[in-house]
Amino acid sequence: MSNATLESLSDWGLEPALEHIERAQRSDGLILWYPEGPADPWDHVESAMALSIAGREDAARRAYRWIADAQHDDGALWATYGEAEDNDGAHAGDEPRKETHRSAYVAVGAWHHYLCTEDRAFLQELWPTVRDALEFARRQQAPTGEIYWTVGPDGEPYEDALISGCASLYKSLACGAAIADVLGHDEAGERWLAARTDLGEAIRTRPDRFDRTWESKSRYAMDWFYPVLCGVLTGDPARNRLEAGFDRYLEAGLGCRCVADEPWVTVAESCELVVSLAAVGRTERAREIYDWLFQWTDDEGVFWTGYQFEDEEFWPGERPTWTGGAAVLAADALSGLSPAADLFTDPRPE
């Protein structure tokens, strides 16, 4: 890692977040939400991406090798891991399920790590993991384009879909296609781009295919900005979508509400909104929101999950690693700390 990168991360006040991530990483590579806590594959990758930006390459590689080791024969991962694991690695107390967006997000992390390091050999090492994860997700794609949320312990998909989860999958498929292009796996890349095209069309034009069997998730901020964050919407449609949600989700001086009807701002959602704004060229507003977030750190400079502004307390009383990871990714998007800075602000790879 260059001195310039070190100085930039220090200037942004992000070294405590990075140290917190490394403290929560187990010896086998899994990054817990916090020391002795649970974990999930999506947030694990989010934290690993922060390590790559910071040049902590050994820790990042161990994180991705954990995914390769934990991956099932069908290409999936359990939805949760960590404390009180059973013999199969699933988090005790949760229904053992395999969520498509959590399993597939390794493609985003692998491509991000390659952009940061240009380590083609490690990308090649991760190829079977990425390939199998994306094929698991692709097998759960409905004829109407959406990708089902999860597969149950009986191996059957739950035939409903999430806007935010499918937007994440849209990004995973794009990154997987970019990896396939670099490594010369053209057929796989073509399959994933075709699946991505159908998925994007469903997200943009078929709202009836989402939240069909449960209450609408539209009150969650992720449903608002994830199609922008992940490149499903670009240009004026993306800008218009963000503008339409500010009054509902943004709390001036505090951050982005996690849920529209709850008095609770969360750092991770706020950081992802920052990246979404940067993606549509609203960098001044993105930086303003980002600067609000450093009031939500502890005495060491580690981010709390969020702030309940009616009760005037940090809630819950946790400091998740993935929250710090999101903060590092947002700083990168705003200032170009790493070669992967435009991963979310440029809609490519196509």
Mean pLDDT for 74-103 is 78
**pLDDT of 65 higher than 80:** yes
Per residue in 274-309, pLDDT (tens digit) is 999 999 999 999 999 999 999 999 999 999 999 999
CA dist., res. 274 & res. 294, Å (int): 14
* Structure-block tokens of residue 257: 């509400």
Q: pTM, whole model, 2 decimals?
A: 0.96
β-pairing verdict for 150-151 and 313-314: unpaired
Mean pLDDT for 149-172 is 96
Percent of the chain with pLDDT over 90: 90
For the chain, list the strands marked E by DSSP. 38-39, 81-82, 98-99, 150-151, 157-158, 250-251, 255-256, 264-266, 306-308, 313-314
The mean predicted confidence, pLDDT, of the chain is 94
β-pairing verdict for 38-39 and 81-82: antiparallel
* Structure-block tokens of residue 169: 């999958």
